[in-house]
Amino acid sequence: MSPDTVFALASGAGRAAVAVLRISGPRSAALLEALAGRLPAPRMTTLRRLRHRGEALDRALVLWFPGPGSFTGEDSVELHLHGGPAVVAAVSEALADLGARPAEPGEFTRRAFLHGKLDLTAAEGIADLVSAETEAQRRQALRQAEGGLATREAAWTGQLLRLLARQEAFIEFEDEDLPHDLDIRVTTEAAALRRELEASLAESAREERLREGLSIAILGAPNAGKSSLLNALAGHEAAIVSARAGTTRDVVEVRLVLGGVPVTLADTAGLREASDEIEAEGVHRALARAERAALRLLVFAADTAPDAATLSLRDEDALLVGSKSDLGPPVLAGALPVSTTTGEGLPLLRAALEREAARLAGMNEAAGLTRPRHRAAIGEAVSWLAHLETAPLPELRAEALRAALRALSRLTGRVDVEAVLDQVFGEFCIGK
């Protein structure tokens, strides 16, 4: 752990009424005394004039948090300054002159983790809270920051520890008066735990969609009304609309929120036999986007027969849209009639998209697996538990349980964490 004392702006950059400068490390008390005189009472807001080298810097509210009773577990200080950039710059320069250094991204939260104030999943939850765009993302991040996933991991770990204790007892005290089916019960309960972990893995794709956002692709033949539909859903002119077929050659994206889920809506090139290499690349990109999208809007013009290329993409994760319904009813049965000219069907389409977004993103109340790192740890534990079921010797079954425990422990960072620390905390903003 670095012995340095670090500082960073914990509030937003730019001009504001108040700017919060955070300091943490062994020299926090000395820095505060150098700037503001004697230390104030712990955790009590005090108004002080800040000075450095005889010059007044600001009149600020200061808070002193002796470790370990602070966010980082170290001695810490908060300076609530007037929010002008010149004030923040002057105080920052004074701190650097006194021997502190600017904090790296996520360094405050990393120090909190290293001092045992929170685990890795809670740290990731804090990062997600900072970047949450929607109410659903906020709730998901808060559940994780407050220990929801760590609580689930603790329950799984507790089950594994009990199973390992029984397996070890079977090995060490085989000649004692133990239940004759102890070894079989361990295998049976381990299989039940494996199925529970597999169910969590199955839900993880939806949890990640909520955290990262949902991808929706608009697909259809040239001049089917895809770009007009994108503009209508976005509420502004994001894509060029023309009566000339094949206007859209590249993917055009807009970001919006549907039912609390952040969504990237993509307009794509019309699906047809390309007339030149540029259009061919556009069609290739459209099909690639269709493959990656969580949901596909298959758009068919009401006055045109459905095309085979778009119909081939129809599955359970596709919504059929009969565009240009002002020209007549959709030819394709089951398609939702929509007209961007009259507005017919647009509210119904948006409601359908919100339902699908909620379905695909999960919107669970339980804390789930939201990152590839989580899935990797749980997936490894599942693999070891599956190996246990076929292991021919009690000693090998015990080793499989120990390996599953090690894999689970990486979820919260109790062991083997150095390899993932930079990845986890590098996502944070400066000052958090």
Separation of alpha carbons 95 and 4, rounded Å? 12
225 is in an annotated binding site: yes
54 is in an annotated binding site: no
Biggest alpha carbon–alpha carbon distance for the chain = 86
227 is in an annotated binding site: yes
247 is in an annotated binding site: yes
Cβ(227)–Cβ(323) under 8 Å? no
224 is in an annotated binding site: yes
395 is in an annotated binding site: no
- DSSP secondary structure of 59-98: EEEEEEE-TTSSSSSS-EEEEEEEE-HHHHHHHHHHHHHT
Residue owning tokens 């909190």: 112
CA-based radius of gyration for the chain: 29
Buried-state track 192-210, b at ≥16 Cβ within 10 A, e below 16: ebbeebeebbeebebbbbb
245 is in an annotated binding site: yes
Separation of alpha carbons 201 and 156, rounded Å? 14
268 is in an annotated binding site: yes
364 is in an annotated binding site: no
Which DSSP category does 213 fall into? -
Residue owning tokens 């905390």: 425
Separation of alpha carbons 180 and 173, rounded Å? 12
226 is in an annotated binding site: yes
**Element containing residue 368 per DSSP (H, E):** none
Cβ(428)–Cβ(106) under 8 Å? yes
Q: Which residues contact 241 (CB under 8 A, 6 or more apart)?
A: 227, 228, 231, 247
* Token pair in block for residue 204: 């993880």
248 is in an annotated binding site: yes
269 is in an annotated binding site: yes
Residues 339/341/344/346 CA torsion (nearest 10 deg)? 70
267 is in an annotated binding site: yes
243 is in an annotated binding site: yes
22 is in an annotated binding site: yes
Residue owning tokens 């960073």: 8
Binding residues for GTP: 223-228, 242-248, 267-270
- Binding site residues for (6S)-5-formyl-5,6,7,8-tetrahydrofolate, as ranges? 22, 78, 117, 432
Binding residue positions:
22, 78, 117, 223-228, 242-248, 267-270, 432
* Numbered residues of the known binding site for Mg(2+): 227, 248
